[in-house]
Amino acid sequence: MNKILIFLEGNARGLHPVGLELISEVITQTKDMNDVTVDALYVGSHLSDDDLLKVKDAGATKFYQILDDSLKYYDTFLYSSNIMSFLNQHEYDVFLIGSTLMGRDFAPRISARLHTGLTADATILQFSQSEQGFLLEATRPALGGNIFATILCTNYKPQMATVRPGVFAIKSQPSSSFEVISVKPNVKEKSPVEILSITPNEVEKIELDKAPFVIAAGRGVQTKFDDLLKIAENCHVEIAASRAVVDARVTSKSRLVGQTGQTIRPKGYVALGISGAVQHLAGMDQSELIIAVNNDPQAPIFNVAHISYICDANKVIDELLALQNA
Amino acid sequence: MSYSLYIDAVNDFTNRFVKPIAHQIDEEETFPADTVKQMGLHGLMGIPFSQTYGGMGSTTKAYVDAVRILSQSCATTGVILSAHTSLGTHPIDAFGTEEQKKKYLPKLCSGEYLGAFGLTEAGAGTDASMQTTKAVDHGDHYVLTGNKIFITNAGYADIYIIFAMTDASKGIKGISAFIVEKDFEGFTVGPKEKKLGIRGSSTCELILRDVKVPKENLLGDVGMGFKIAMQTLDGGRIGIAAQALGIAEGAFERALIYIKKRKQFNKRIADFQNTQFAIAEMKTKLEAGKLLLYQAASDKDQGVSYSMSAAMAKLYNSRIAVEVTDQCIQLLGGYGYIRDYEIERYYRDAKITEIYEGTSEVQKMVIAGKVINA
Amino acid sequence: MNILVLVKQVPDISIIKIDPVTNTLIRSGVPSIINPDDLAGVEEALVLKERYGGKVTVITMGPLQAENMIYSLYARGVDEGYLLTDRKFAGSDTWATSNILSSMIKTLPYDLIIAGYQAIDGDTAQVGPQVAEFLNIPQVTHVSKIIEQKNYKLIVEKKYEEETHHLSVNMPCLITTVKSMNTPRLMKADLAMHIENKTVHIIGVDGIIVDQKEIGLQGSPTKVKKTYTKEVIKRSSPIEIEPKEAAMRILSLIK
């Protein structure tokens, strides 16, 4: 039997979708293999019924919960020790974690403690079953997204990887035997880190990953960012930005699409004045319909766009505004 | 290894503090006071002076390379450093008493103080001997009265090396030098001149009305002033040669980027032979100018006579600065005339290098004098 | 305060280009820089030193040329530097690298270890936490601000996606820093000019206590099966169009 464990990350607002994305992807890939189970592990203070249903729907077999009030907020020590005690009692071939701030905080410590391999920020997962055993090939971008590396961990278990959120789709494929198991939390020892205060960030709530249509502003149109926001008000699109625009402080990081920002796959993605650096493409090239507007016929964005227009993106924004006001 | 790390440090400094504001300080004619502060914090204000007095203890070459690199981005910043180092600080280092050196050099080298030099008067330019500023001996102090014009760093400097006539009957041997602090009673600075170029540099008149200068602020001996002035200007011209070369190099770099991008008649203009010939000529001039500059710096560091090599360095580099910047604007065509393209400023900045700290005519007098009377 | 900063020399990836003919990375002529997140860490360390006194030591594992990086850090005010270099370290993944680094660190006194959040070449963000694990010290990763040191605890700010935490960490501890947290100071020209007064400690495998089976390629739990550049696909050919026409077509497509 080959077993895969997926870590489900959550916070006060509920489950982070990455855990469900991973369950979906792993099940899709392994459902035709012999005797492979996919379990999920959640650490926190509580889980809503809605979220529980989502886990079931995604298709996990055994769902382990480690719940305690002291686990309400992420803590390296408490989460790592609980995950470690769990892993010491259950053997897995593969352990996958979302490549979030939380995941990238504890996964390396766990892998170091277990003396096993950890691949960071994978965007492609491939599983294979053979006499050599159950193997994960995790592919990840490196050198700022300029190259891809496929990583193996053949001699140690569990083979670990953190996986980028937003790359895989959540599918509904519930398993026939879904079981919820509560695990006793290990919270006797005090953490060396104390939370002194928590303040919500004053950030506009921008849900780029939920918008069906996104218009993205690049360096070429950064002076017209406010015009784009006006356009967005009137036609249910969300406005995103490239790295250059965020670095120029025209808008906040919450709108950043790319290697160091968000990866999104909207139905429509309109790139205005964006040259198409590798780092940006990494965040959007899987969008269903990509329309690019740029003055430079050599702009790399035109390689991934389904529709490519050579003209002044600033003028296009002016025309969009004019058409809306008409 | 340390020299190349030093050059990296100067380049990094220029890219972070100087380049981003060069256009604006020229447009708005503002003195980059914050840059001066940063130059102090980064150890650039006392390069050729002994570590005993807080300087870097380094060479004239290191100093001129700093002026040159700064000037590649901003001629104003280059001249601020040059005037401070060669004209404002060097006289104290070379001619000061131990007490004067201990009092002023550490502050000048750290950048806490900015230095300046006041020799030129309305009637005394190239003929510097026609000094009318007077210094009257009152026992325990001197009283200075007169006006100086075209003084670089004026209004921002903390100390000024001022030349005044202590004994009119002795001619040039009657001129003495004084260290005048900005807050000395009776010392005021006039309004800023509006100039063709180096517009961020503060150039003003100094007005001395019965300025009380303590006896201990006499620099060198009584009557030694002219000698101090001439010797100081010899060194100052190496700094200006560096500024001129930097201006030429900065313009050249910008033109090179442009000609490789700009296309006309389906070719890059870099692919036209007339452009290529212009590039070759300019490059050769820049290299020749650099060699003359480094020769002068080396002569000074070796302790050999450097009046002629310094004069040649300034004469040549200031001429090529004017020629190269002119040529570079021509290569950029219409864009070369647009202020936002930041090349026409180099053309405007270049001209002053043929004029101040000894006009090119003066340099020729020096060179001819050395050659013919050798 | 004794502060160790882990630094890495990396290629300047903003300049890296792909050869369109062979579809491979053009690595030659790409200048090396100090990893930006690490440089931010050095800046924080120097600020802490100015505030609380003490010493800043940098440690790097890399080829011999990384020595130049340490000299440039000396010119910024760093006190001491160690370069771990040895052919036997080559091919180390993050586990093996962290093993080597922590073996070195165990020989030095420290109150705080600062590591950059992630390196722009490897992009893993793993070495910091793995070193903390090997040393068995607490960590806070992706710190946005160091507030102060008090009663031998470090008070830091960590920004999560939607909230900001103020945390108190028992020392000695390890934090990872991000480049957005400060503007690193430049080299001082006078320190650069006199850099030959300083030396870099060059340490090979014999200078640390480590099991040689747990370093280098053979000691790495992960191995690279292959690397490749993304195939340049061409989904469409660009057409010239008037802005008004483009705007109309875009509006119709996104309705």
Q: Taking CB atoms and an 8 Å limit, are C189 and B16 in contact across chains? A: no
- CATH homologous superfamily of domain A208-325? TPP-binding domain (3.40.50.1220)
pLDDT tens digits, one per residue of B40-91 = 999 999 999 999 999 999 999 999 999 999 999 999 999 999 999 999 999 9
Confidence (pLDDT) at B61: 98
Residue in B39, B153, B79 with CA at minimum distance from that of residue B321: B79
C128 reaches A (C-beta below 8 A):
yes
Confidence of residue C80 (pLDDT cuts 50, 70, 90): very high
- Measure the CA–CA gap between B72 and B68, rounded to whole angstroms: 6
Confidence (pLDDT) at B8: 97
CA dihedral (B287, B291, B293, B299) in degrees, to 10, reads 180
Residue B34 main-chain phi, psi, to 5 deg: -65, -35
Residue in B112, B25, B39 with CA at minimum distance from that of residue B75: B25
- Measure the CA–CA gap between C148 and A247, rounded to whole angstroms: 28
Helix (H, G, I), strand (E, B) or coil at B170: helix
Runs of H (alpha helix) within chain C = 36-52, 67-74, 94-105, 127-135, 189-193, 243-253
pLDDT tens digits, one per residue of C120-136 = 988 899 999 999 999 99
Q: Taking CB atoms and an 8 Å limit, are A105 and C139 in contact across chains? A: yes
CA dihedral (B288, B290, B296, B298) in degrees, to 10, reads -120
Confidence (pLDDT) at C166: 97
Pairing outcome for strands B159-165 and A133-142: unpaired
CA dihedral (C155, C159, C165, C168) in degrees, to 10, reads -20
Confidence (pLDDT) at A203: 67
C234 reaches A (C-beta below 8 A):
yes
Q: What is the mean pLDDT of residues B104-113?
A: 98
Q: Right CATH number for C2-224 from 3.90.1300.10, 3.40.50.2300, 3.40.50.620, 3.90.79.10?
A: 3.40.50.620
Give the residues across from A179 on adjacent strands. Answer: A62
Nearest CB to C254 within list A116, A147, A268: A268
C78 reaches B (C-beta below 8 A):
no
- Measure the CA–CA gap between B319 and B247, rounded to whole angstroms: 11
**Active site residues per annotation of B:** 357
How close is the nearest chain C Cα to the Cα of B281, in Å?
Answer: 28
Peptide bond into A174 cis (omega under 30): no
Q: H/E/C letters for each residue in B270-290?
A: HHCHHHHHHHHHHHHHHHHHH
Q: Which residue of C has its CA nearest to A319?
A: C244
Residue in C47, C41, C48, C35 with CA at minimum distance from that of residue C8: C35
Give the residue carrying structure tokens 């008037």.
Answer: C242
pLDDT score of B192 more than 80: yes
Confidence (pLDDT) at C23: 65
Confidence of residue C237 (pLDDT cuts 50, 70, 90): confident
Kindly state the tokens that stand for B35: 């840059």
Nearest CB to A310 within list C140, C168, C241: C241
Confidence (pLDDT) at C14: 75
Residue in B315, B275, B276, B278 with CA at minimum distance from that of residue B293: B315
Angle at CA of residue A205, ends A200 and A211, nearest 5°: 150
pLDDT tens digits, one per residue of C25-35 = 777 788 999 99
Buried b vs exposed e over A230-250: b needs ≥16 C-beta within 10 Å? ebbeeeebbbbbbbbbbeeeb
Kindly state the tokens that stand for B267: 């070719």
| Contacting residues of C for A156, CB less than 8 Å apart | 221
Q: Which residue of B has its CA nearest to C188?
A: B42
| Contacting residues of C for B62, CB less than 8 Å apart | 193
Identify the chains in contact with C, defined as 3+ C-beta pairs within 8 A.
A, B
List per-residue pLDDT tens for chain A, 326 residues long.
899 999 999 987 889 999 999 999 999 999 899 899 999 999 999 999 999 999 999 999 999 999 999 999 999 999 999 999 999 999 999 999 999 999 999 999 999 999 999 999 999 999 999 888 899 999 998 887 778 999 999 999 999 999 999 889 899 999 889 999 999 999 899 999 999 999 988 766 788 888 889 999 999 999 999 999 988 887 779 999 999 899 888 888 889 999 888 899 999 999 999 999 888 998 998 898 999 999 988 888 998 999 999 999 999 999 998 888 87
Mean pLDDT of chain B: 97
Whether residue A221 contacts residue A106, with contact meaning beta carbons closer than 8 Å, is answered with no
Domains in chain B with CATH codes: 2-114 (1.10.540.10), 116-226 (2.40.110.10), 227-372 (1.20.140.10)
User: Could you tell me where in chain A the CATH 3.40.50.1220 domains are found?
Assistant: 208-325
Confidence (pLDDT) at C20: 66
Kindly state the tokens that stand for A135: 């193997």
User: Could you tell me where in chain A the CATH 3.40.50.620 domains are found?
Assistant: 2-183
Domain locations along chain C? 2-224
Confidence (pLDDT) at A204: 67
Confidence of residue C195 (pLDDT cuts 50, 70, 90): very high
Pairing outcome for strands A193-200 and C163-170: antiparallel
pLDDT tens digits, one per residue of A104-115 = 999 999 999 999
Confidence (pLDDT) at C15: 75
Percent of chain B with pLDDT over 70: 100
Helix (H, G, I), strand (E, B) or coil at A43: strand
- Measure the CA–CA gap between B144 and B263, rounded to whole angstroms: 62
B233: left (phi over 0), alpha (psi -120 to 50) or beta: alpha
| Contacting residues of B for C187, CB less than 8 Å apart | 5, 8-9, 12, 42
Buried b vs exposed e over A31-70: b needs ≥16 C-beta within 10 Å? eeeeebbbbbbbbbeebeeebbebbbbbbbbbbbbbbbee
Identify the chains in contact with B, defined as 3+ C-beta pairs within 8 A.
C
Residue type, C62: G
C219 reaches A (C-beta below 8 A):
no
Q: Range with the lowest mean pLDDT among A208-217, C62-71, C150-159? A: A208-217
- Measure the CA–CA gap between B239 and B64, rounded to whole angstroms: 6
Residue type, A185: P
Identify the chains in contact with A, defined as 3+ C-beta pairs within 8 A.
C
* A2-183, CATH topology level: Rossmann fold (3.40.50)
Confidence (pLDDT) at B185: 95
Task: Note the pTM of the prediction, 2 decimals.
Answer: 0.89
Burial class from Cβ neighbours inside 10 Å (0-12, 13-18, 19+) for residue C242 reads middle
